Amino acid sequence: MGIFQFIRRLLFGSSPSRPIAPADTHSALKQIKPSRPRRKPRLQPLRFNKKKNRDSPDMVDVSPLPYKLARPYELLRYRSQSDHYLDMTQDVDHQKLRQYHLPAFSTPEEIANWLEYPLGKLAWLTHRFNQADRPDDVNESHYTYHWLPKRNGYRLIESPKPFMKMAQQQILQDILNKIPAHPTAHGFVTGHSQVTNAVPHTGKRVVVKFDLENFYASVKFSRVISIYRSVGYCREAAIWLARLTTTAIPMSMPFPDGSLRPLYPYLSRHLPQGAPTSPALANLSAFSLDVRLSGLARSFDAEYTRYADDLTFSGSDQFLRSLRVFIPLVEQIIRSERFQVNQSKRRILRNNQQQKVTGVVVNEHTNVPRKEFDLLKAILTNCIRKGPASQNREGHPDFASHLRGRVAYVQQLNPNRGQRLLQLYQQIRW
């Protein structure tokens, strides 16, 4: 200590000493790693263990015409052995067929007998001898076509003709109705409805809605084959069943407004919108989509339901704050499942506005929209004043049952409003 520091401390007191860091402090700080920012959740890629294809002719089951309408084995054509055919009836899973109580058949002839059709008619229904398995023109098709205008385009309604419709109704009743859809699917499922689809989303902070574009046309021939294969049918039977429940429009199909764009989704084999089997097959084709989206919703503490092509999510305020991360993940899953999102129909509905799910208001409890209630009330009032015939503008053959069903629907959503409408209904003189 110097003389000057001694005099300063004697006159002014000791100055506060600066803290001196221990010798090993800096080395300890170097060992501390900075905390990493929280990463956004990412989807793990799906990996499938595919079986190796048996591409050697010696390993393939070939024989001289194992059954009628068997297809020739293409690889052997180049070796002058065109009399050999591929036998695709050897991989039946009888255990799965018994599990779902499905009819067992393997060959086209057995399918024709099950449908009670001649084998030639079955081949005619599936365009077996047409080029590319499609009709040459509209007149040869087993469907009638009708274009319906929609926002930003057109929708093609393909209604099966009588013979095709009878076959599809039998497939629906004896096969497809016995295969359960995912629990989150509410459209065209027994015991479910638009109301059951909306109930899980009542009283939520936010409701997010997605729409799948060209839902039925997005389900292609190969995916329908995989559905039948997954329940135990052999390759041959699955292909014939898929031909009966899918279609491809003829190349000479007229298109509206001179634009080719509306035809693109329908050129390859797809589910026809208008066939009785298409809703069930569409639900089954979206099973994997429902599994992944319901799991994603659970990880965000949200609810998920699907009604046909309408996807609905709902959750709390915490879910609302995470939408910036959640929405891209949903769209990524949809794309990976070979569907497309209609961006123009995506909606984010907070609880300070009307939240409507499949036509049902779900803000606090299930309710009917005010406009629909007022319209039905006006119809019932006019039926009392002017008679029911004056209000049957759509020509319902049983207008009384039609109105009673609409009143019962309102009663299901809002008993108080439904009771008021029921009192008006009972005053009508039929």
Measured from the Cβ of residue 43, the count of other Cβ atoms closer than 10 Å reads 12
Cα separation, 137 vs 102, in Å, equals: 35
Phi, psi of 173 (to 5 degrees): -70, -45
353-371 pLDDT, tens digit per residue, is 999 999 999 999 999 999 9
Looking up residue 190, the CATH number of its domain turns out to be: 3.30.70.270
The answer to whether residue 58 is domain-embedded is no
Could you tell me which of 358, 402, 412 has the C-alpha nearest to residue 376?
Answer: 402
* Residues spanned by the domain of 258: 83-179+220-270
- Give the integer Cα–Cα distance in Å for 115 and 171: 9
Q: How buried is residue 20: exposed, middle or buried, by Cβ count under 10 Å (0-12/13-18/19+)? A: exposed
Query: 306 with 390, same domain?
Result: no
Beta-carbon contacts of 124 under 8 Å, excluding residues fewer than 6 positions away, are none
Above 70 in pLDDT, residue 283?
yes
Average pLDDT, integer, range 1-25: 59
Tell me, yes or no, whether 172 and 248 share the same domain.
Answer: yes
Q: 3-state DSSP call for residue 410?
A: helix
Give residue 339's identity as a one-letter amino acid code. Answer: F
* Torsion angles phi and psi, residue 298, rounded to 5: -60, -35
Residue 308 φ then ψ, to 5°: 60, -115
Q: Report CA 198 to chain centroid distance, whole Å.
A: 16
Please check whether residue 300 is in contact with residue 180, taking contact to mean a CB–CB distance below 8 angstroms: no
| Rounded (10°) angle between helices 370-386 and 399-413 | 140
Question: Which of residues 77 and 423 earns the better pLDDT score?
Answer: 423
Residue-wise pLDDT for 171-206, tens only, equals 999 999 999 999 999 999 999 999 999 999 999 999
Task: Give yes or no for a contact between 163 and 121, defined as CB atoms under 8 angstroms apart.
Answer: yes
Give the pTM: 0.83
Using DSSP bridges, classify how beta strands 143-150 and 310-315 pair: parallel, antiparallel or unpaired: unpaired
Instruction: From 270, 286, 308, give the residue that closes a domain.
Output: 270
Boundary of a domain, candidates 329, 361, 393 = 361
Residue 150 within any structural domain of the chain:
yes
**What confidence score (pLDDT) does residue 252 get?**
83
For 273-308, the DSSP string reads BTBTTHHHHHHHHTHHHHHHHHHHHHHTT-EEEEET
pLDDT in tens, 240-258: 999 999 999 998 887 777 6
350 inside domain: yes
| Same domain flag for 95 and 242 | yes
- The answer on 260 and 157 residing in a single domain is yes
Biggest alpha carbon–alpha carbon distance for the chain: 123
| 105 and 224 together in one domain | yes
Sign (positive or negative) of CA dihedral 20, 24, 25, 27: positive
Top-confidence residue, 339 or 90:
339
CA-nearest of 204, 228, 232 to 284 is: 228
Q: Compute CA distances 233 → 34, 111, 213, whole Å.
A: 58, 12, 30
Helices (H), 42-185: 94-99, 108-115, 119-125, 162-174
| Type of residue at 32 | I
Same-domain status, 200 and 328: yes
108 in Cβ contact with 69 (< 8 Å): yes
pLDDT higher than threshold 90 for residue 425: yes
Lowest mean pLDDT among 5-14, 127-136, 289-298, 384-393: 5-14
On whether both 150 and 89 belong to a single domain, the answer is yes
CA 364, CA 353: separation in Å to the nearest integer?
Answer: 11
Among 14-28, 218-232, 385-399, whose mean pLDDT is lowest? 14-28
Residue 2 is assigned to a structural domain of this protein? no
| pLDDT category of residue 153 using cuts at 50, 70 and 90 | confident
Assess whether 336 and 416 both reside in one domain: no
Alpha carbon distance 176, 83 (integer Å): 36
> Both 146 and 116 in a single domain?
yes
- Residue 336: pLDDT band (50, 70, 90) is very high
End-to-end CA distance of the chain: 117
Domain-embedded: residue 23: no
pLDDT at 228 over 90: yes
Q: Quick one: 200 and 243 in the same domain? A: no
Same domain assignment for residues 209 and 323: yes
Residue 288 or 54, more confident: 288
- What is the tally of structural domains in the chain? 3
Is 35 domain-assigned?
Answer: no
What does pLDDT average to over the chain? 87
Q: Same domain, yes or no, for 175 and 295? A: no
Q: Within a domain: residue 52? A: no
At 389 the three-state DSSP class reads helix
User: Of 321, 339, 361, which one is at a domain's C-terminal end?
Assistant: 361
- What does the pLDDT read at residue 59? 43
| Position 195 in a domain | yes
Phi, psi dihedral angles at 159 (to 5 degrees) = -100, 125
